[in-house]
Structure 1
Amino acid sequence: MRIHSRAVLAVVTASVLAAGGLYLIIAGSGEGPGAGVPRAQPVAGQAKATTGEATPPATATTSAASPSPSTIQASASASAGASAPARQAARGGWVKVDQALWKKQLAAFKALKPAPVRNNPVKVPEFHVDCTVAKQSPDDAIVFPNLPGASHMHTFFGPDIIGASTTTKDLLAAEKTSCRTKGDNSAYWMPQLTRNGKPVPPHGFRIYYGSRLKDPSRTTILPPGLVMIAGDAKRQEPTPKDSGINQFWCAGAAEVGRSADGNWPKCGTGGRMIISITFPDCWDGKHVDSPDHRSHVGPAGPDGTCAGGRFPVAIPSISELFTYDTRGGDGFALSSGLPSSAHMDMMNGWDPAVLGPLVRTCINQGVKCGTTPTFD
């Protein structure tokens, strides 16, 4: 009980300071070299939409064990009383796509001819982008725009200009990015992983752009200005093995056990802890953002197509795969809380002239490419 009381007291203190216009920030750093990682299956059971992330609590680490569900839930309740400006920023609103620009980009995409399929590639509609860490900071340009330091700590990939006030136009104008595919200036970010309060550097980050639809040939490019979130920072539930909730698992070696609280895997020799987060395949065709940053995108309809549901435009489904230089075990936490709170933010910074051939050649033809629309 003492551990829980101290954690809750720290959260209440952080909330009081936030209400006065100050923010307690748990700083962290640590970068790891990016590396290619094996393809993983998307995590089942994506979280339902919410109205935004909770302001992060200040935590007191007094044990090697991960935070308990009761501690995390108390933290979320306390942080819900954060400053009014932060709550307003989290609500956001419906943002319409620039229809003139979208129609122009869509027409150019439809005029593209795919490269001929050669060398018998794998029949999986996808290509990928590899990135290294760009920066780590307590910012979130989607949930807390123009409020630097208002979020829990995030690990960012993409242009290093990303901050609380960054827009998709800023990304397109960025001169460099930590992602290796020239033409992808998108920004991607996820809660920071820690062990006993210290940052765990990612070993690699790979983004798969693909399709889970019955007919991937109808998939288009991403609309200009698109931002979205997958997962739910407020979801604080236990994640025993095979629970169906966002989970970390082992790559490179089998899982040999679980942490004391059951939420984290223990990997065998040579293994690394890994997690995947997947965005929907369909878009409403009208908005590039929504109040919860999720409701403008969604799943396919009952017939397995976007046209058969509430989101009629097929876009690439983005699966983001993180590997960490650790075999797992006890003492882990995300800056957002339990593993079930894992989520991913994405701001579209693609040059449509680069994204178009990748979608047309790889996804539309239902074949697996690497980082270019070729089959060499």
Structure 2
Amino acid sequence: MRTPPAHVAPPDRALKRHRLTRITLASAVVAALGASGIYIAGAQAEEVDVPGRVQAEAFAAHSGAQTEGTGDTGGGRNVGWLANGDWLRYDNVSITGADLAARVSSHNATGGTVELHLGAQDGQLLAAFPIAQTGGWQQWKTVTAKASGVPTGAQTVFAVMKSASPSDFVNLNWFTFGPPAGTSPSASASASPTPTASSAPSATPPASPSASVPPSAPAGGWVPVDQTKWNKELAAFNALKPKAVPPGTTRVPEFHTDCGVANSAADDPIVLPGLSGASHMHTFFGPKVDAFTTTDKLFAAANTCNAPGDKSAYWTPELRKDGKPVPIKSMRIYYGSRVKDPSTVKPFPPGLVVVEGDAKRQVDTPKNAGSNQFWCAGSAEIGRSADGNWPRCAPGGNLIFQLVFKDCWDGRNIDSPDHKSHMGDPVNGVCTGKYPVAVPDLSFMVNYESLGGDGLSLSSGKPSSMHGDFMNAWEPERLADLVKSCLNQNAKCGIDTTFAGG
């Protein structure tokens, strides 16, 4: 029996969605990814491939999209948490007639429209689908629209969300652009190939959704790991002999890197690749980053991180005080392990990118709210801001945020449509099921030159929208040595395999 995911709307007028963790059973389950609000149908049946449909999650680029396992007929995934101004881009779409359709759901009384534009977000209007309440976030309805024309050849189509509501107002499952032409439009791409090399992780990772985007496509889809490269790095790691742990070493699986600020920009090469200025402001640590940064480019870039071999990029939303950027005091990234047996941890696969947190989460975080909390380091908290969301620190301290990433990998993909779904959490201290490969646990420790209080905001909004991005560009030999000697041996290290006590 398949258990469909369900958004739950609270009784407030804005109908903001709760991110609920659901405990489910059997072969078709739903796993909640922390506070991100992403639901992933576990071990669900393959999505039914219908000729002529463009699956909503097969976008080539997006702003504001998150995916989840769908309860709609046919299975697979849908795109959710869509609000006014969000958009999805589809490449190489064949428009075969004027009769268009979209599969939608909504639990927002305000409603809105989904506009289809050609070539750009503000390009020629092709059609607009009206959106009204359907009875729930997983109550699906097919709506139709007439195209203003039927252009020939492959098209780039932007689906742009329009609504007067300040909250999410629509989910999308698929589109059709006229009658079927005999084959699925090229925007619906095939699944990632199954790894077959003998040195791949022994557990069988889950199949990627049938609408995944091939590796040559822009970020925004499922991107499979370079299996040949990964097998080579894994074989070298397995053959590596760890350094002896001296007496007095603290038995904690840990090493770290300290990174300086490289630049700030309204770019995000993971979420909005190739779209300069399309994001909120980010503070980038390590290398200088722009919308065109890729993992391959990082290896040749200058880097401010002090761990030898760390060419990776890290970034967070910009913190502001009365509209001006707050200086960074320090940024330390800890690499550790949350699994019961740290000897099972493997290095990150080549090209891995990950986003942790939810830039769209806009809820209050008063003291002891439990998550997405800024706190005081080096001194006591002596009060809160007028809105209750920010601590006030006593002199001698500073504002700090710790962001912990997921550390179980699916073993197949280095990116996913929401940049999160290829990663998961340990279950009872073990990486298993859909996420069988234990990798280092990242923890951002961002220290700000601020005592907190009034006038603070993130470029993404409230403190609850705090999030972080990681683009792996560790030199494989350096990372392998740190994982093998420090994490696997449950030993505390610094920026290299120099062991530490205390």
Whether the 8 Å CA contact 2:386–2:454 is kept in 1: the answer is: yes
Encode CA deviations 1:172-197: one digit per residue, 9 max, x unaligned.
222x2011112111000100000110
- 1:81 deviates by 6.2
Flag the structure with more relative contact order, 1 or 2, with Cα contacts below 8 A and sequence separation at least 6.
Answer: 1
One-letter code aligned to 2:86: A
Aligned-partner Cα distance in 2 for 1:292–1:217: 30
Q: Judging changes above 3 Å, is the alpha-carbon distance between structure 1 residues 53 and 342 closer, same or farther for their aligned structure 2 residues? A: farther
Which residues of structure 2 form unaligned runs of 5+?
1-32, 40-56, 66-81, 89-120, 122-156, 161-186, 188-216
- The residue aligned with 1:13 is none
Q: Judging changes above 3 Å, is the alpha-carbon distance between structure 1 residues 278 and 81 closer, same or farther for their aligned structure 2 residues? A: same
Q: Judging changes above 3 Å, is the alpha-carbon distance between structure 1 residues 86 and 313 closer, same or farther for their aligned structure 2 residues? A: farther
Q: Judging changes above 3 Å, is the alpha-carbon distance between structure 1 residues 248 and 115 closer, same or farther for their aligned structure 2 residues? A: same
Encode CA deviations 1:73-94: one digit per residue, 9 max, x unaligned.
xxx9443369375979998100
Aligned-partner Cα distance in 2 for 1:264–1:95: 38
- The residue aligned with 2:249 is 121
- The residue aligned with 2:344 is 218
Aligned-partner Cα distance in 1 for 2:158–2:320: 28
Of the three residues 307, 325, 331, the one matched with 1:205 is 331
- The residue aligned with 2:410 is 284
Q: Judging changes above 3 Å, is the alpha-carbon distance between structure 1 residues 229 and 350 closer, same or farther for their aligned structure 2 residues? A: same
- The residue aligned with 2:282 is 154
1:101 aligns with 2:226: no
Whether the 8 Å CA contact 1:86–1:147 is kept in 2: the answer is: no
Q: Judging changes above 3 Å, is the alpha-carbon distance between structure 1 residues 138 and 46 closer, same or farther for their aligned structure 2 residues? A: same
Q: Judging changes above 3 Å, is the alpha-carbon distance between structure 1 residues 90 and 336 closer, same or farther for their aligned structure 2 residues? A: farther
Cα root mean square deviation, aligned: 2.3
One-letter code aligned to 2:402: S
Whether the 8 Å CA contact 1:45–1:245 is kept in 2: the answer is: no
Aligned-partner Cα distance in 2 for 1:310–1:171: 29
* 1:6-17 alignment, distance < 5 Å: none
Aligned-partner Cα distance in 1 for 2:158–2:275: 8
Aligned-partner Cα distance in 1 for 2:367–2:469: 25
- The residue aligned with 2:240 is 112
1:145 aligns with 2:270: no
1:357 aligns with 2:481: yes
Whether the 8 Å CA contact 2:319–2:326 is kept in 1: the answer is: yes
Aligned-partner Cα distance in 2 for 1:271–1:249: 10
Q: Judging changes above 3 Å, is the alpha-carbon distance between structure 1 residues 53 and 195 closer, same or farther for their aligned structure 2 residues? A: farther
Aligned-partner Cα distance in 1 for 2:479–2:351: 14
- The residue aligned with 2:430 is 305
Of the three residues 335, 348, 368, the one matched with 2:459 is 335
2:442 match: secondary structure: strand
- 1:367 deviates by 1.3
Aligned-partner Cα distance in 2 for 1:101–1:90: 21
Of the three residues 135, 154, 157, the one matched with 2:263 is 135
**TM-score using structure 2 length:** 0.59
Which residues of structure 1 form unaligned runs of 5+?
1-43, 56-75
- The residue aligned with 1:80 is 86
**TM-score using structure 1 length:** 0.78
Q: Judging changes above 3 Å, is the alpha-carbon distance between structure 1 residues 86 and 208 closer, same or farther for their aligned structure 2 residues? A: farther
Give percent identity, aligned residues only.
Answer: 54
1:79 match: secondary structure: coil
2:36 match: secondary structure: coil
1:143 match: secondary structure: coil
- 1:122 deviates by 1.5
2:245 match: secondary structure: coil
* 1:9-88 alignment, distance < 5 Å: 46-49=35-38, 54=64, 77-80=83-86, 83=121
Aligned-partner Cα distance in 2 for 1:349–1:81: 29
Encode CA deviations 1:309-329: one digit per residue, 9 max, x unaligned.
320011001000100001000
Whether the 8 Å CA contact 2:64–2:87 is kept in 1: the answer is: no
Encode CA deviations 1:2-50: one digit per residue, 9 max, x unaligned.
xxxxxxxxxxxxxxxxxxxxxxxxxxxxxxxxxxxxxxxxxx9643338
Q: Judging changes above 3 Å, is the alpha-carbon distance between structure 1 residues 315 and 326 closer, same or farther for their aligned structure 2 residues? A: same
- 1:125 deviates by 0.5
One-letter code aligned to 1:252: G
Aligned-partner Cα distance in 1 for 2:268–2:338: 29
Whether the 8 Å CA contact 1:159–1:171 is kept in 2: the answer is: yes
Aligned-partner Cα distance in 1 for 2:478–2:329: 27
1:229 aligns with 2:235: no
Larger radius of gyration: 2
Encode CA deviations 1:316-348: one digit per residue, 9 max, x unaligned.
010001000010000000000000000001100
Encode CA deviations 1:108-157: one digit per residue, 9 max, x unaligned.
01111111111412221010000110000000000000101000000001
